[in-house]
Structure formats: structure tokens, C-alpha cells
């Protein structure tokens, strides 16, 4: 890894060593916030940020994200997890406690178009995307030079329908060896098998070059041009076994008109794709997303 970036990550870990995040999803009822707040107070934690949402105060679901400071948090993590179980069982919570200093590792999968990859690398180099890029996997050689110049391991694995099982076996082994927390499909133009998706549930983030649910699948800009759309967009979502139908994390659009040809739409779309994917990845890394059914709550 580039030494400057390595130093930035280490400084971040030191600065954030006492910062934690708590994500909670449970049936809504009185007393949830009071119980969680008291638990944090009893452990000398100070709440820095708190966001919550209820689908319906009567019979609905309740979601909350809390970020807090707690002296000696790294040493207390296991104790906090153990003691919080009583509250979690009382309110039937699906929950996760994470340490900000435990920077997540990601793998980036890419094919021939590199604009989304370049955006992620720029955000990473500038310190705005706090992560460790453990490896980049591609079915083309186009990105090798830029990746290896940054000291990131690059793996060229040609992929097709004919060798998909063999390819995914190699990829899954690499992800395990590098202890990857999330996989980013930065215009990786291969469909993943159900086995691959099942190995990393809601940890695979894709960018689709369309404002879903419009123009699912291949060649969306061509189909958008034929349809004469006045808006084009991009969608970042978690990958499921249903093509381009996983929980949506982020979307954006831009106006176009009859003067724009297919290549114009692609050029405009690339700009949208870059920013949409970068935001989705950042929110995932910052534990701002709770998946609920086929939707997301983003704090």
C-alpha cells in the first residue's frame, strides 16, 4: 500500500480509537432509546450523533444509528457486546456494535471501464474514503498499471460463462485470504452466481448505469436513447440473486434532451455513476445503512 495512504489510515485509527457505532433494527415500542442511552451512559459513553426512524409507531419497525465516544473502547468491546445482549433480547433487536478504528477492507472488481474505479481511488487517496483496499480483481488488464502503481495487489482473472465456477472459486479464495469486509463492483460486467452472492450477503455493492427500476440489465443507455428519455441516472445497490433488483442505496439523475446521442448519454452517465457509487460505498463503510426487506434505511 502507498506509504502516505498507510500513514493516513493509521492516524485515523489512532484518532478514532474510542469512537463506536451502534446500529439497531427492532419492533417499535416505548423505551428503546431510553434503554440504549442508559446503557451507554452507564459505560461512560458520550453520544456524538444519533439518527432514528420508525415505519409506524404502532406495530412498525424502529431503526436507530448511534455514534459515541467511550474511553478505553477497544478494551471494552467484548464486554459491551456481552452486556448489551440483555437489552437486545428484551426488545428483540437485530443489532451491530462496531469500532470506527476497525477500518473495513474492501475488494474492487472492475472490467474495462475505469471511471468508477478512478473515483474510488481518488476518494481513497484524499482520505475521504476511509478503507483499506485489499485487492483489485479484473477480467481485463486495463487497470493493472494504475492499481500496481499504488501498491495494491492486482489479480487478472479472465471470466466468461464457460469458466464462471472456476473463476468464482478463485475469487472467493482471494477474498478469504485478504479478509475482505465488502466487495465493490465498479462496472464489473459479469453476473455473479447465487453461491457467490450467498457467501457475502449485503456486502456486495454494485453500480448500475440506469435509474432503476428502469432499463434493468445490459445496454441501458442504448435503450434509454431509443425510448427518448429526458432524465438519465445511475443506481447503487446491494447485489442479490435478482438481477439489478437488490436494495437500493443511492441514486441520482441528470436532464438530457433530444439532441443527446447514445455516446452523449454515456458520457453524462459516467459522471453520475462515479458520484453515486462513491457515496454508497462511503455510507456502507461508515455503518450508515440498515437493510430492511428489499429496502434500505440510510442515516
Cite the active site residues.
244
Gap between the Cα atoms of 116 and 122, Å rounded: 10
- Going along the chain, which residue ranges are E strands? 19-27, 46-54, 61-69, 94-99, 105-110, 132-138, 154-156, 182-185, 204-208, 231-238, 248-255, 289-292, 295-298
Rg of the chain over all Cα atoms, to the nearest angstrom: 21
Per-residue DSSP letters for 30-47?
TTHHHHHHHHHHHTT-EE
DSSP class per residue in 186-233? SS--SPPPHHHHHHSTT-EEEEESS-TTTT-SS-HHHHHHHHT-SEEE
Amino acid at each position: 500500500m502507498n506509504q502516505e495512504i498507510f500513514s493516513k489510515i493509521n492516524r485515523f485509527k489512532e484518532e478514532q480509537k474510542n469512537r463506536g457505532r451502534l446500529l439497531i433494527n427492532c419492533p417499535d415500542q416505548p423505551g428503546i432509546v431510553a434503554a440504549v442511552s442508559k446503557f451507554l451512559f452507564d459505560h461512560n459513553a458520550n453520544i456524538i450523533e444519533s439518527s432514528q426512524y420508525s415505519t409506524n409507531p404502532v406495530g412498525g419497525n424502529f431503526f436507530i444509528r448511534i455514534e459515541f465516544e467511550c474511553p478505553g473502547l477497544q478494551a471494552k468491546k467484548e464486554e459491551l457486546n456481552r452486556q448489551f445482549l440483555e437489552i437486545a433480547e428484551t426488545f428483540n433487536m437485530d443489532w451491530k456494535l462496531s469500532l470506527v478504528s476497525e477500518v473495513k477492507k474492501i475488494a474492487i472488481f472492475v472490467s474495462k471501464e475505469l471511471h468508477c474505479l478512478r473515483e474510488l481511488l481518488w476518494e481513497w487517496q484524499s482520505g475521504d474514503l476511509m478503507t483499506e483496499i485489499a485487492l483489485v480483481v479484473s477480467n481485463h488488464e486495463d487497470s493493472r498499471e494504475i492499481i500496481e502503481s499504488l501498491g495494491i495487489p492486482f489479480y487478472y482473472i479472465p471470466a466468461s460463462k464457460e469458466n464462471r465456477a472456476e473463476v468464482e472459486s478463485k475469487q472467493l479464495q482471494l477474498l478469504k485470504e485478504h479478509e475482505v469486509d465488502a466487495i465493490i463492483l465498479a462496472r464489473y460486467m459479469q453476473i455473479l452466481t447465487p453461491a457467490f452472492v450467498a457467501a457475502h450477503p449485503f456486502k456486495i455493492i454494485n453500480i448500475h448505469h440506469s435509474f432503476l427500476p428502469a432499463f434493468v440489465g445490459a445496454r441501458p443507455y442504448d435503450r434509454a436513447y431509443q425510448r427518448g428519455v429526458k432524465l438519465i441516472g445511475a443506481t447503487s445497490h446491494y447485489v442479490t440473486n435478482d438481477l439489478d433488483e437488490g436494495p437500493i442505496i443511492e441514486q441520482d439523475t441528470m436532464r438530457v434532451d433530444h439532441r443527446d446521442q447514445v455516446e452523449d448519454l454515456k458520457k453524462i452517465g459516467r459522471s453520475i455513476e462515479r458520484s453515486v457509487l462513491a457515496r454508497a460505498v462511503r455510507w456502507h463503510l461508515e455503518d450508515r445503512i440498515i437493510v430492511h426487506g428489499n429496502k434500505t434505511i440510510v442515516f
